[in-house]
Chains A and B, each alone.
Chain A
Amino acid sequence: MALIQVKDLKMYYRTLRGHVRAVDSISFEIERGKALGIAGESGCGKSSMASAILRLLPSNGAYHGGSIIMDGQDLLRMPEEQFRKEIRWKRISMVFQGAMNALNPVHRVGEQIVEAILSHEDVSRAEAVSRAKELLELVGINPDRFSEYPHEFSGGMKQRSVIAMALACHPDLIIADEPTTALDVMVQAQILKALGELRERLGLSMMLITHDLSVIAQTCDTVAIMYAGKIVEYGSVMDVYTNPLHPYALGLLGSFPNIKAERSEVRSLPGFPPNLLAPPSGCRFHPRCPLADERCRQEEPQMQRVDDNGRMVACHKIDVVRQEGDIWEAIRPRSAAQEERQKEPILEVRNMVKHFPVRVGFLQSLRNKEQPALKAVDDVSFSVYKGEILGVVGESGCGKTTLARSLLRLIEPTSGSAVFQGSDITTKTPDEMKALRRKMQVIFQDPYESMNPRMDVQTIISEPLRIQGIAGSVREAQEAVAAALRDVEMVPPEEYMTRYPHELSGGQRQRVAVARALVLDPDFIVADEPVSMLDVSIRGEVLNLMLNLSRSKGVTFVYITHDLATARHICDRIAVMYLGKLVELGTADEVIGNPRHPYTAALIGAVFVPDPRHRGFAQLLRGEIPSPVNPPSGCRLHPRCPYAIDICREVEPELLNYEGTHQAACHRAHQMEDSKIKMV
């Protein structure tokens, strides 16, 4: 008997332009003690479904039928007061998307857990407090911090407290909506590991919603793939991941780079999910499906059982998929031949340092003479070779963005030099710098924020031309814009030139950002987390674009990212940063295949693999990245490093050469070969 059965659930939002059918006839069940993963691109209705189960629809939301059965009762027909008292949090609790904000900033963390207990159970306050403390301990937080406020907690600790809060009334089911999306890989792995252990121990069921298929592969028993308000494939994680049958499931799974697989291609899923105001007729996936035919456009496929293992798929052409296997065309991997010729440096960074002054209390600043500094980048040296893609990876706060901005001189470095094509840019006058900007461009994380919403695509892309004063005639500018749009594969260019940013999809917007960088025909582009705001299905398109540009036009890229899996697949070389220091540098294969620095090894270990056959967590680092204001002595990693020895506390390791071009800064790097994490 399933713990909860959702049958034919329908829910929509009333809007000025009509009904958004966010949840359209969805059915599934969750067994006691099991975990169901819900996956799909954003806007597919995952979060709406979660709030529908807890009856937390916003004021413009409405049910349109269906039932949610728990213990033989239909939750949708229960009186509100009874539902609030008996179901919410007591039977079903929830960890919301953006759980970092789930704690009220003006109340103490512990009190918020106590509040949950007291509003459902008839216990004394003292008992509730002691239980809240136990819960904090359970999720790995020192119970002495009960009385602290949320802002005193780090991101990971907030997330842990939210989980503790979700466990407060011993629920049967936890709904977790993107529980770790905003967190760094390392913290994400720590949290999911803790959550998995807790679930096992307490026999909890879970519904885990995420766009990240690797998280589901690592933590769930069954999976439902959602597309445009419907479930299109449903089955055990093992079945669906090893042998997806719905073209969407196949495409989505294929677009997940696997860090442990052979370095190959990054695929994308062309197009984007439909607007749910007026979803496509027939099969909602047909505009994006390579197999779509007339029947698909006319007739809506129903979920049907495809094997004895409970797998359900909604597609007319399962047989074709069964026969042909991979129906999505893979973008070819980068040829090895090209990796050979990249040896001439285009940029040489020497002893780059960037310290930010730290604001201190007024009284304190009177007392101390010396201003403390935040050492964001602390003596970093490396070269970037012509035509290569150099990845710079590390947790957030390790100095990646500051490094990028300093070497472009978007901010003034504290000291050090950056020699670009033979001349040091740190000594250039503003006019010389402006001329140099034609050669060096930057792409930011959030394409939406970096674009003026009131400019059309044409104006956005030609802006650098005007700034440089080389716009020429209107015709010339238009041609340059068209060429740049063609370079980013937005054809025909005329179709996009007069659109505004809000009329573009996320991937298209980021392409426009790339086109804007390309219009000046630069030799060198720094891309700072260019895809982290994008859905995974379209990350591939932007990354492959960078790959193709470096291959066909010889553009050099510095690709800044916290995502090792994509870095492995598109980068020639990878630099790993920790707390302002460069700790490892080498080719992608050297660094990912044979990490010499414990930090790199741990980062790789924390990356989830979208493959349920390879489960488990490698050795994770303890805790979270410390403040760069007073970095630890000696090796900055030593308080978190599982291999630390005495010397690590006192002597800072130098960046030394190992095999090939492989460099690492660790006292024990020479021994790392033995202890290196096992690759697939």
Chain B
Amino acid sequence: MGFRSYLLKRVLYAILVLFVILTFNFVLFRLMPGDPEKMIIDPNFTAEAKMELRRQYGLDEPLFKQYINYLSSLLRFDMGLSFNTRRPVWSELKERLPNTIVLFAATFIGTATVGISLGVYAAANRDKFAEKFVVGSGLFAYAVPGFFIQLLLLLLFGYYWPILPIHGTMSAPPPEGTFAILLDRIWHLILPAGSNVLIGFGSWALYTRNTMLEALSQDYVVTARAKGIHRRGILYHHALRSVLPPIITLIFMSLPGAVSGAVITESIFSWHGVGRYLLDATLKMDYPAAQGAFYLIALAVIVSNLLADVAYGLVDPRIRVGAGGQS
């Protein structure tokens, strides 16, 4: 199968998934308990005022029409006005997006680096204490619920040992100077991102260790040993290189899970991001805001899945070589 048609298929598939999710999203928020109109429309309003408000939010249209409006405006990133703040949802999201991206990137780079290195280290030191330690702590981190670890950290750094900021994205008021601002930001990032790494590295380390051990027992690795290749070459050039495709896929595949984690992390550490926004909006039954945030997150998940497919195709020569287009 050619790489181009592989790609095209994945893109079409992604669009389909996006459509399904959006539809689901539309239905879901309308099935939620509670009447949103009551939240924004004061019962003391006059009938005209109510109608006017309903019209403003498009709630007077038939459901199907609402659906079409919903789809077409989402595609234009027009997410309507928040019930709550009466500001355009997209502007609110845009303000928070950079914060979320920063937290995400830090979490990801951290988790992947720590997890993969520990996994490789464990595989290279099979049956030694190092391996047992990595496997043990990895399993522990994997098994304990993430929010529990985070709450413990909150307690530790918020109460017993307050050396790190436990909430917010930056100090208020912010310090003077670009460099100081940057440092301040990083300072605030440590706990949320660090706790995410702590929660997430286990599955990475275990997965890397397992695939590495499997690769190390493959005939081609034994052959490499027989060839007299030195230890590092065997570990990195042969074993790690051959398990990269599944690991890279895992990187992207774990993005969706990380999203739900982010909602919790952002809430616990009061991080001014999209995840917290989604949570707040949902609790306040602020449809447009929740839908908008949800849309953004769904988009991120689908794109990351697509990236996973592309990356997989690029790393695994068995998929890549079809690129010539024949057969």
Q: Which A residues form the contact surface with B (CB < 8 A)?
A: 51, 54, 56, 59, 84-85, 87-90, 93-94, 96-99, 101-107, 115-116, 119-120, 149, 151-152, 162, 165, 359-364
Contacts and interface: CB of A to CB of B under 8 A. Distances in A.
A93 B227 CA distance: 7
B220 interface: yes
Contacts of B322: 361
Given A96-B222, A361-B6, 11 more contacts: A56-B225, A85-B228, A93-B226, A93-B227, A102-B220, A105-B318, A116-B227, A119-B230, A361-B1, A362-B5, A362-B6
Interface of B: 1-2, 4-6, 8-9, 126-127, 218-230, 233, 237-238, 241-242, 244-245, 315-318, 321-322, 325, 327
Contact of A119 (B126, B227, B245): B227
Contact of B219 (A90, A96, A107, A149): A96
Contacts of A85: 228
B226 A106 contact: no
A90 B242 contact: no
B80 to A, nearest CB: 37
A59 B128 CA distance: 11
A115 B236 CA distance: 14
B224 A89 contact: no
Contacts of B127: 59
Given A85-B228, A106-B242, A94 B5 contact: no
A163 to B, nearest CB: 12
Contacts of B4: 361, 363
B317 to A, nearest CB: 4
Nearest to B225: A56
B227 to A, nearest CB: 5
A162 B5 CA distance: 33
Contacts, number: 103
Contact of A101 (B8, B220, B230): B220
Contacts of B233: 115, 119
Contact of B224 (A104, A105, A364): A104
26 contacts: A59-B127, A84-B228, A84-B230, A89-B227, A93-B226, A93-B227, A94-B223, A101-B220, A103-B220, A104-B241, A105-B318, A106-B241, A106-B245, A106-B315, A106-B317, A107-B237, A116-B227, A151-B317, A151-B318, A162-B223, A359-B1, A360-B327, A361-B5, A361-B6, A362-B8, A364-B5
Contacts of A59: 126-127
A426 B16 CA distance: 41
Contacts of A149: 317-318, 321
Contacts of B8: 362-363
A115 B228 CA distance: 10
| Pairs of residues from A and B, 5 with the lowest C-beta to C-beta distance, nearest first | A88-B228, A101-B219, A362-B5, A363-B5, A361-B5
A361 B2 contact: yes
Contacts of A120: 228
A237 to B, nearest CB: 26
A120 B224 CA distance: 13
Given A105-B242, A151-B318, A363-B2, A89 B219 contact: no
Contacts of A84: 228, 230
Nearest to B2: A361
Contact of A56 (B226, B316, B317): B226
Contact of A90 (B218, B228, B245, B325): B228
Contacts of B218: 101
B29 to A, nearest CB: 35
Nearest to B217: A58
A200 to B, nearest CB: 24
A120 B321 CA distance: 31
A88 B226 contact: yes
Given A104-B242, A363-B4, A363-B8, A99 B228 contact: no
Nearest to A364: B5
Contacts of A151: 317-318
Nearest to B12: A362
B1 A362 contact: yes
B219 A115 contact: no
A288 B316 CA distance: 50
A96 B223 contact: yes
Contact of A107 (B2, B9, B225, B241): B241
A162 B219 CA distance: 12
Nearest to A84: B228
A116 B228 CA distance: 8
B217 to A, nearest CB: 8
Contacts of A93: 226-227
Nearest to A85: B228
B297 to A, nearest CB: 29
Given A89-B226, A89-B227, A119-B233, A98 B317 contact: no
A101 B238 CA distance: 13
A56 B222 contact: yes
Contacts of A89: 226-228
A580 to B, nearest CB: 20
A406 B191 CA distance: 64
Contacts of B5: 361-364
Nearest to A54: B226
A6 to B, nearest CB: 17
Nearest to B325: A361
Nearest to A117: B227
Contacts of B221: 104
Contacts of A115: 227, 229, 233, 237
A84 B226 CA distance: 8
A574 B176 CA distance: 92
Contacts of B315: 106
A135 to B, nearest CB: 14
B2 A99 contact: no
Contacts of B9: 362
A361 B8 CA distance: 10
Nearest to B4: A363
A119 B224 CA distance: 11
A84 B230 CA distance: 8
Nearest to A93: B226
A49 to B, nearest CB: 14
Contacts of B245: 106
Contacts of A119: 227-230, 233
A96 B225 CA distance: 12
B126 to A, nearest CB: 6
A139 B102 CA distance: 55
B212 to A, nearest CB: 14
Interface-centre pick from B2, B221, B222, B318 (highest chain A CB count, 10 A): B222
Contacts of A105: 220, 242, 317-318
A96 B317 CA distance: 24
Nearest to B244: A106
B220 A104 contact: yes
Contacts of A88: 225-228
Contacts of A54: 226
Contacts of B228: 84-85, 87-90, 116, 119-120
Interface-centre pick from B220, B224, B316, B321 (highest chain A CB count, 10 A): B220
Contacts of A364: 2, 5
Nearest to B221: A104
Nearest to A120: B228
Contacts of A94: 223, 226
Interface-centre pick from A59, A93, A106 (highest chain B CB count, 10 A): A106
A120 B229 CA distance: 9
A151 B227 CA distance: 21
Nearest to A99: B219
A352 to B, nearest CB: 28
B319 to A, nearest CB: 10
A491 B262 CA distance: 66
Contacts of A96: 219, 222-223, 226
Contacts of A99: 219
Contacts of B229: 115-116, 119
Given A84-B228, A115-B229, A363-B5, A102 B223 contact: yes
A341 to B, nearest CB: 51
